[in-house]
Amino acid sequence: MKERVTLTIEKSLLDRVDKRIDRHRIKNRSHAVELLLSKALSENSPGKAVILAGGQGTRLRPITYEIPKALIPIQGKTMTEHLFDLFKKYGVRDIYLSVGYLKDKIIQAYGDGSRFGISIRYIKEEEALGTAGPLKLVKDELSSTFFVSNGDELKNINLEEMWEFHKKNKALATIALTTVEDPSAYGVARLNGSKIMEFVEKPKKSEAPSNLINAGLYLFEPEVIGMVKDGFCMLEKDVFPKLARKGQLFGYPFSGQWFDTGNNDRYARAIREWKGIK
C-alpha cells in the first residue's frame, strides 16, 4: 500500500532527481524519489559477487600457458579489474574470486583487494568445479541475493536496473542477455515474456529463437545454491534447466557493451573497441 506525502527538498537536489526521469524505467518525480529511498534504505540489495576465474583459457593459448585469464591485460588493466570497476560502480564491494589454474599468480596480483577499493575472498578450486560448483563452497556466506559473473567477458550493465527487474519478477535467478547479430556460436534464449524457457545451443542463424544470448552475469537468490550438486557442476547444464522448469529463470536484456574474450580474435576486438566502465 502506498501513501501520499509532501516533502520539502532543496531545489538543487530536486534538479538532480529530475535528471533521472527517463519516462521509461523511471516514470516521474515521485517514482524517482521512491527508487532512491528504496536503494538507500534497502538492507537486501546485493553487496556480494562471485567472479568465476578458475578456467585454463585453452582457446587463448599460447598467452594462457603463463598468464591466467584473470590477469590478461586490456587497455592498461587486467581483465578482472574491469569487472571490479563494474561492481564498485554499483556498490558491490565484497568479491569472491573463484580460482584454479595458476591461482597463486592471481592471488599474488590482487591480494585482499584493498588497493582496488574492494574486499576479495578466494574460492580455491583444487580440481575443476565448473561454473556452479564453486558456489557450494561458500554457501553459508551467500545468505542474500548475490551476483555471479564469468571472468572472461567484459560487460557494462546497469546493475541497479537489473536488480529492480529481478525484484519485480520475484525471480530466483535472472540472467543478463545481450543481443548479437549472429547467435549461432552461442546458447540462445527462448523467451516467454521475460521468462527464459530454455537455451538453444548454437542454432543455425535462420533457426535461432532470438538474438539474445547469455551475457555471463547473473543475479541469484540463495535457494539456487541448493540446486548445485557437490563437485563439478555447470550452471548452464545442471541448474538453469531446473529453474526454467520451475518458471523461475528470467532474462534481463541490456544494451551496454559486451565482449566475449574467449579466443584470440575476440580478445583482439575487445582491446580495440572496449570503452571501459565510466
Q: What are the extents of the domains in the chain? A: 11-40, 42-269
pLDDT > 90: what percent of the chain? 41
Tell me the C-alpha to C-alpha distance, in Å, between residue 23 and each of 27, 51, 83, 213. Answer: 4, 34, 29, 27
Q: Which residues are catalytic?
A: 202
The answer to whether the beta carbons of residues 228 and 239 sit under 8 Å apart is yes
**Residue type at 229 in one-letter notation:** K
Taking only the tens place, the pLDDT of each residue in 114-157 is 999 999 999 998 888 999 999 999 999 998 999 999 988 899 99
Q: What is the CATH number assigned to the segment(s) 42-269?
A: 3.90.550.10
Per-residue pLDDT tens digits for 186-205: 888 888 889 999 888 778 88
pLDDT digits (tens, 9 = 90+) for 102-119: 888 989 999 999 999 999
Segments of 87-185 assigned E as strands: 94-99, 119-124, 146-150, 153-155, 173-179
Angle at 50 between CA 192 and CA 109, to 5 degrees: 140
Degrees (nearest 5) of the Cα angle 69, 70, 71?
90
pLDDT of residue 100 exceeding 60, the answer is yes
pLDDT digits (tens, 9 = 90+) for 14-37: 777 777 777 765 777 877 776 666
| Secondary structure of residue 99 in the 3-state scheme | strand
